[in-house]
Structure formats: structure tokens, C-alpha cells
């Protein structure tokens, strides 16, 4: 592999690491989005506004049929409806019973009608819009059931009002039940949104790591304090000892130990010096730093974290689709039971009782708990994941995790450190010395940011060699690089490339170096081998335990690499991996994934997010090692912020716990409806028990609270 590693071919055009971390290009079109901009605004306002009113959160389960509502609006609707409900309860009997506080006066019935009408059209608006969207999609679900229950109660009550006022009847209305139900539903949705907000508190706390102001260095060298929202990419900021670093950036002067634990989870302070990147929100040590801004609140690392989790929380998973489908079944079940109850009670009692029973069935059929069951769990799961360095971009990854049979692992940068050192460099021609060979190779590698190139350039620097100017440098896909130096064309290639082009080389020398765990490559010119280069990588300390943990979970680890078979076997053997595939090109990795899937296996691909993109996309679950690269964000389902493969095990454990909570909440949510709909229809009427709407609404509210509390108990046991 080495310089000819399959990843190597793409790095000649890759961005510098600092740009990868800030990820400006990818995030520029997301400025309007959200949490980080809101956080900067909060900093400007000195945090003087209540988050509940200041932030416009999306209502996750209320987003049926494309309807969205901010928490502030939902809260407002709840309080107004609650106030209007008071006269209804005071002047209208509940289920036909005059309570001790029930009063009346001439015209009180009209007051009840007006208040109930306002509640119905104003408080019930979000449910109507959601139901309209569901019906247009021909998929009745939660919001349709809510609208059906409240709509039937209101229309029936208006009919009763007309009959009582103008015909002289004495029928019982459902205004109190209609109003109570809408208020309870608004309260439930408000509580749900509040719970989702609390579930995301870990992310908001990450945003709050950024200070309100930054010390900006002007062109004339003066340092002035400016609001963080005004800091722009390319400006220079000064970070004093002990301060929070305000933006992503690159150190241009000074050195210090940076504590990134609050951002990345890395426990120990990391020594940083000129040229190193820093992350906004981390804590500076004792040293003073001057930092060139590469990413601000809009496009910095923390903004990426917030965006990834926000995206994950908005996506719909298959389990949620199941919840909607269950609600659709309940819709038809409620209609069926309602019609049957109407017919039964009309035959065995009277029209008023029949209408009352049908209304009762439709009123308490609202599956609110079912509607919030899954979103609350996923909101909690994604926030826990983010706090532990797991950015879940696709919710379906959580559900697919329980079916995994194989985890395919890229070698370099995933199982190994990706920090290469030059172990052997030898000229194979009399016209070049070893030093000249190293200088030529370094000249080509200076155009790459691959870890192997970094190792070569470090070796050249150690020997005080200045790379020569190289022209027309190009990557050779899956092979290496080529370029022109002093008018002569040079190529860095692999042993298979030499075989394919029938260029002679020493097999025994190659085997000897490869068996030592080296990645071996050759410098050639005009189809003549000029030199051999052997570069070694180190296995990550935690990799062996990670492999053992996967096996303990009955998951088969498979190592994929573009390196030679000897090196691959040595690494695989030392880690306890039984299956490995070597000398793979990027498209070969994708084919390997397809081969496993064609056998019925469910596959996770873990790669460094560079040239593993085809395999990451093809796999059932794609996991990228390291946040901040274009491919990691665009191709992977999950991103491991800490670049620690052991976090894959944490993801699998969290996915298992999340699945368990989803199933529990589905039982809580659907179980309520399965029990109460027959009771509301009067199935136990022969023994004297009939469920009324008020009790049904109370049980419904309790069910909603239960699923919310159950979701909040989700934990990750490492």
C-alpha cells in the first residue's frame, strides 16, 4: 500500500486538514440553519432571552403531513385554550353531570358555545393541518385520529345545542369533552416538545462552549474585543491562557496544551504548536495563542455536530413508519368500532346514547402516546450519541444494527494509527544516492496530505533535505503518484503495477520488507526501477480489544486494505482477525461489500471517510472514522468523532438499547388504544362498566407521560 495505497490517489487534491475541520464549503449552504447561529445571537443578547421562547424548535411528532409548529406557538395555544376551557367547565355539565361548581345563567349556553368554538378552531388548528396532510397522502395516522375525535365531539355538540335551544330537546353535549381533549392534546404536544428540547440539551451545551466575544487582531496589530457573530473566516484572533477558543482555526504563533475533552471527549490535554489546528469550544492551557480563523459559528466543528444531529432527528425511520401504520390501523378500527357501537346502542337503547357511544369511541381513539413513542426515543438516542462522539446521520442505522453479521474494516487510519515512518529507503541504481531518492519522492509527496506522505516528508526534514520543485503532479488511482522533476518524469508505484507492466524488480527483497509489516513502493522512471521505499504503520492500542469485543457480540470482523498480502496478514494475525482481503482498489472494497450482501449478510463498513466512500455508501451501515472530511459527512451513516474504532462497539450497544426502548414505547402507546377502544364502545356494558371520554382522555395523557419518561431513561452503558 504505502504511497501506493488505494487512498493515496485521492489525496493530491484533498484540502489541508484545517480546511477539512472547518468544512467551510460544505456548510456554507446551511447558514440559515440553526443552533450555532442561535447560540451566537444568544451570546449577543447576553443570554437574556428564555430558550423556550427564543428558539424555534421543530415539533417532531407534530410534523405529520408536513406541519410544523414552534414550541412558543404551541405553548401560546395551550394557555389560551386553557383559559377558554374554564367557563366551559363552569357552565357546562361534564358527561351530563352537574358538578358542585357547575353554574348557569341566562345565555351561559351561548358562552360555552363561543368558547368551545374558539378552542376547536384555534387550539385544534395544528391537528387539522396535520390530518389534511395525512389524508392528502392517503395515509391516515395520528393527526387524523385526533381530528376525528375532536371534530366528531364538536359537531355533535353543536347539533345538541341547536336541538336543545330551538327544538326543546334535553340532550347531552360534549363541549366539555371536546375542549378538555384539545387542551390535553396541546399540553401533551407541548410536554413532548419540551422533552425533545431536554433530550437535545447536550448539544445546546456544546454550543454554549463558545464564548460571547473574541479578541480580534486588527491589521495594525491592535487587539479588540468583538462579538463572536462578527468574526469572519481569515481573521486573526488572540486566545489568552485559560480562555475558551472562540473559533476553529490554525495556530500561527504560540504553543499551548489544549483541553478538547468538552468537545471531542479526549481526556488528556493535547500539545499544540504553530501549524496545528484548534477546535472552537476547547479550552486553552497556560500559553497564549494567535489563531487564524478557519471556521466560525456558522461553519465550524460544533456547527457540524449540531447540524448532523438535527438532520438525524428530522429523518423518519422505519420503526416510525410502523408507528404511523399502526395509527392508520387504529383509525380504521376506531371507525369500525364507532359504527358498530352506534348501531348496537341505537338498537338496544336510543339515538342519543348511540351517538354518545360513537363519539366516545372516536374521542379516546387518539393515539397521542403512539405518536410520541419513537421520536422521543430517537431524540434521546441521538443526543446521547453526540455527547459520546457518535454522530448518527441516518436513523435507520440504529434499526439495522441489530441484524449485523459482519463489520468490514479499512486498515490504515482505522485499525492502525495512520502515522507512517520510513523504515527503508534504498537506491537501486548507481546514478542516485539514497538521499537523492528521498528528495525525489518527497518532491512528489509534497503535493499530498496522505499520512504516508507526511511520513516521507518528516524523514526528508529530519535529513535536512529540501524537496525539489515538481510539475504536473498527478495521482495514479489505486497505485501512487507521478510528476516531472527537472524535466524527467518519475512515478511512485506498487509491486502489482510493476508486474502488470512487466517491469523487473527483486521479489525476495519485496517479500522480506513486506513480511515485516511494511508498505512497499517503488520509484521508477522510463520503466526502470530506481529505488525501493518501505514505510511502516503502527496498530492502534485499542484495536485488539475492539476486535475481541466484536467477536464477543457474534459479529465477524473483516479487514480490507489496498496493502500487500504479507503486510495485511501480519496486521490481521496480530489483531486476531481471521478474514482479510488485500491489494484492493476503492471499487474493489465496494464489490466486497456487495459480495457479502449477496450472501444475505448484513454489513457495516468502517473507513476513514476518504477513498472508502463507495463502500461506505453501499454498506448497510457506513461508519466514518474522524469528523470533518467531506466524504465522512456525505457518505457515512455514522461518524466517529474520536477516530476510535472502539466507539463502533458503543454505537452497537446504544443501538440495541434504543431498539429496546422503541419497542417498549410502541407497546405503551398502542396498548392504550387496544384496551380503551372496545371499552369505549361498551363491550363491558353488560356488567355495568362504560368508559367515558373524560377518563379516556386522562388515561391517554398518562400514557403520553409514561412514554416520555421511559424515553428519558435511555442510557449508554460503556
Closest by Cα among 611, 585, 436 to 525: 436
How many CB atoms within 10 Å of residue 135?
Answer: 15
- Give per-residue burial for 464-498: e unless 16+ CB within 10 Å, then b: ebebeebeebebbebbbbbbbbeeeebbbbbbebb
Rg (C-alpha) for the chain, rounded Å, is 33
Q: 10 Å Cβ neighbour count for 235?
A: 19
The arrangement of strands across the sheet holding 406-410 comes to 390-392, 638-640, 621-625, 603-607, 406-410, 556-560, 579-581
- Here the cell at position 221 is 496589530
Which of 82, 55, 83, 47 is closest to 71 using CA atoms? 55
Q: Inter-axis angle of helices 368-387 and 647-681, to 10 degrees?
A: 170
| Residues paired with residue 67 on neighbouring β-strands, in sequence order | none
CA distance 9 to 3: 9
Per-residue exposure over 259-285, b if at least 16 CB sit within 10 Å of its own CB, e if not: bbeebbebeebbebeeebbbbbbbbbb
Could you give the CA distance from residue 603 to residue 594 in angstroms, rounded to a whole number? Answer: 9
Query: Long-range contact list for 661-664, CB < 8 A, 24+ apart?
Result: 661/377, 661/380, 661/381, 661/710, 661/711, 661/713, 661/714, 662/319, 662/373, 662/374, 662/377, 662/378, 664/710
Per the annotation, the verdict on 410 as an active-site residue is yes
- Type and span of the H or E element at 251: strand 248-253
d(CA 415, CA 643): 10
Torsion angle (degrees, nearest 10) of CA 47, 51, 55, 57 = 150
Starting at the edge strand found earlier in the chain, the sheet holding 236-239 runs 223-227, 213-217, 236-239, 289-295, 248-253, 277-278
Out of 248, 410, 563, 637, pick the active-site residue: 410
Could you give the 3-state DSSP secondary structure of residue 425?
strand
With the C-alpha atoms ordered 467, 469, 474, 476, is the resulting torsion angle positive or negative? negative
Run of H or E residues at 291 = strand 289-295
Whether the CB-CB separation of 77 and 126 falls below 8 Å is answered with yes
Pick from 203, 276, 199: which is nearest to 245 by CA?
Answer: 276
Half-sphere exposure (CA, 13 Å, Cβ side) for 108?
13
Decide: residue 21, CB within 10 A, 0-12 exposed, 13-18 middle, 19+ buried.
buried
How is residue 577 written as a grid cell?
A: 482477525
434, three cell numbers? 539514497
Do residues 180 and 694 touch, judged by C-beta distance below 8 A? yes
CA gap 394, 317 in Å, rounded? 8
Judge contact between 247 and 231, C-beta under 8 A.
Answer: yes
Angle (nearest 5°) at CA 5 between 464 and 500: 110
**Residue found by looking up cell 511520513 in the block:** 455
Active site residues: 410
Amino acid at each position: 500500500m504505502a504511497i501506493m495505497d488505494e487512498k493515496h490517489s485521492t489525496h493530491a487534491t484533498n484540502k489541508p486538514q484545517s480546511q477539512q475541520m472547518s468544512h467551510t464549503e460544505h456548510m456554507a449552504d446551511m447558514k440559515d440553519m440553526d443552533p450555532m447561529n442561535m447560540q451566537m445571537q444568544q451570546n449577543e443578547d447576553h443570554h437574556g432571552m428564555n430558550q423556550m421562547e427564543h428558539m424555534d424548535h421543530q415539533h417532531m411528532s407534530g410534523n405529520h403531513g408536513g406541519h410544523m409548529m414552534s414550541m412558543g406557538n404551541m405553548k401560546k395555544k395551550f394557555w389560551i385554550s386553557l383559559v377558554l376551557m374554564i367557563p366551559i367547565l363552569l357552565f357546562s355539565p361534564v358527561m351530563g353531570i352537574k358538578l358542585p361548581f357547575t353554574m348557569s345563567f341566562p345565555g351561559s349556553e351561548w358562552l360555552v358555545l363561543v368558547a368551545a368554538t374558539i378552542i376547536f378552531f384555534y387550539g385544534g388548528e395544528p391537528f387539522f393541518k396535520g390530518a389534511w396532510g395525512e389524508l392528502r397522502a392517503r395515509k391516515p395516522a395520528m393527526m387524523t385520529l385526533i381530528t376525528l375525535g375532536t371534530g366528531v365531539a364538536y359537531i355533535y355538540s353543536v347539533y345538541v345545542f341547536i336541538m336543545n335551544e330551538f327544538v326543546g330537546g334535553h340532550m347531552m353535549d360534549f363541549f366539555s369533552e371536546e375542549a378538555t381533549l384539545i387542551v390535553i392534546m396541546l399540553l401533551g404536544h407541548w410536554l413532548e416538545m419540551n422533552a425533545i428540547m431536554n433530550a437535545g440539551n447536550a448539544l445546546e451545551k456544546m454550543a454554549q462552549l463558545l464564548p460571547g466575544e473574541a479578541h480580534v487582531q486588527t491589521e495594525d496589530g491592535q487587539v479588540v474585543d468583538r462579538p463572536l457573530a462578527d468574526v469572519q473566516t481569515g481573521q486573526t484572533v488572540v486566545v489568552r491562557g485559560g480562555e475558551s477558543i472562540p473559533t476553529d482555526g490554525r495556530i500561527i504563533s504560540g504553543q499551548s496544551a489544549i483541553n478538547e475533552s468538552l468537545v471531542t471527549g479526549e481526556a488528556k490535554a493535547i500539545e499544540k504548536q504553530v501549524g496545528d489546528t484548534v477546535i472552537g469550544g476547547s479550552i486553552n492551557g497556560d500559553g497564549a495563542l494567535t489563531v487564524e480563523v478557519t471556521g466560525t459559528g456558522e461553519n465550524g466543528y460544533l456547527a457540524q455536530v449540531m447540524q448532523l444531529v438535527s438532520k438525524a432527528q428530522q429523518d423518519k425511520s422505519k420503526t416510525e413508519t410502523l408507528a404511523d401504520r399502526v395509527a392508520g390501523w387504529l383509525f380504521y378500527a376506531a371507525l369500525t368500532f364507532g359504527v358498530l357501537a352506534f348501531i348496537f346502542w341505537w338498537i338496544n337503547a336510543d339515538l342519543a346514547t348511540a351517538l354518545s357511544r360513537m363519539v366516545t369511541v372516536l374521542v379516546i381513539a387518539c393515539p397521542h402516546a403512539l405518536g410520541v413513542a419513537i421520536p422521543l426515543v430517537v431524540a434521546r438516542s441521538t443526543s446521547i450519541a453526540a455527547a459520546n462522539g457518535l454522530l448518527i446521520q441516518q436513523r435507520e442505522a440504529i434499526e439495522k444494527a441489530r441484524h449485523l453479521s459482519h463489520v468490514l474494516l479499512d486498515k490504515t487510519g482505522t485499525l492502525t494509527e495512520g502515522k507512517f515512518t520510513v523504515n527503508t529507503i534504498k537506491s537501486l541504481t548507481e546514478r542516485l544516492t539514497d538521499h537523492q531518492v528521498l528528495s525525489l519522492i518527497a518532491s512528489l509527496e509534497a503535493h499530498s496530505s496522505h499520512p504516508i506522505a507526511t511520513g516521507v516528508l518528516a524523514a526528508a526534514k529530519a535529513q535536512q533535505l529540501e524537496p525539489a520543485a515538481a510539475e504536473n503532479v498527478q495521482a495514479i488511482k489505486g497505485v501512487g503518484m507521478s510528476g516531472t522533476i527537472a524535466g524527467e518524469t518519475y512515478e511512485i508505484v506498487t509491486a502489482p503495477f510493476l508486474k502488470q507492466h512487466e517491469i523487473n524488480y527483486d521479489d525476495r527483497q519485496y517479500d522480506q520488507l513486506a513480511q515485516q509489516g511494511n508498505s512497499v513502493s517503488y520509484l521508477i522512471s522510463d520503466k526502470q526501477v530506481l529505488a525501493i521505499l518501505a514505510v511502516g504503520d503502527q496498530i492502534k492500542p485499542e484495536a485488539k480489544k475492539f476486535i475481541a469485543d466484536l467477536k464477543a457480540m457474534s459479529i465477524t470482523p473483516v479487514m480490507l486494505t489496498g496493502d500487500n498480502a504479507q503486510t495485511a496478514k501480519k496486521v490481521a494475525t496480530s489483531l486476531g482477525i481471521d478474514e482479510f482481503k488485500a491489494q484492493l482498489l476503492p471499487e474493489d472494497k465496494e464489490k466486497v461489500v456487495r459480495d457479502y450482501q449477496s450472501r444475505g449478510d448484513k454489513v457495516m463498513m468502517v473507513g476513514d471517510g476518504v477513498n472508502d466512500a463507495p463502500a461506505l455508501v453501499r454498506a448497510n451501515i457506513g461508519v466514518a472514522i474522524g469528523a470533518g472530511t467531506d466524504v465522512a459527512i456525505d457518505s457515512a451513516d455514522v461518524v466517529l468523532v474520536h477516530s476510535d474504532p472502539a466507539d463502533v462497539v458503543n454505537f452497537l450497544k446504544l443501538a440495541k438499547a434504543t431498539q429496546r426502548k422503541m419497542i417498549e414505547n410502541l407497546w405503551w402507546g398502542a396498548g392504550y388504544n387496544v384496551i380503551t377502544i372496545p371499552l369505549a364502545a361498551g363491550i363491558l356494558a353488560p356488567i355495568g362498566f362504560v368508559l367515558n371520554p373524560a377518563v379516556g382522555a386522562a388515561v391517554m395523557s398518562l400514557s403520553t407521560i409514561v412514554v416520555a419518561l421511559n424515553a428519558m431513561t435511555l442510557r449508554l452503558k460503556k
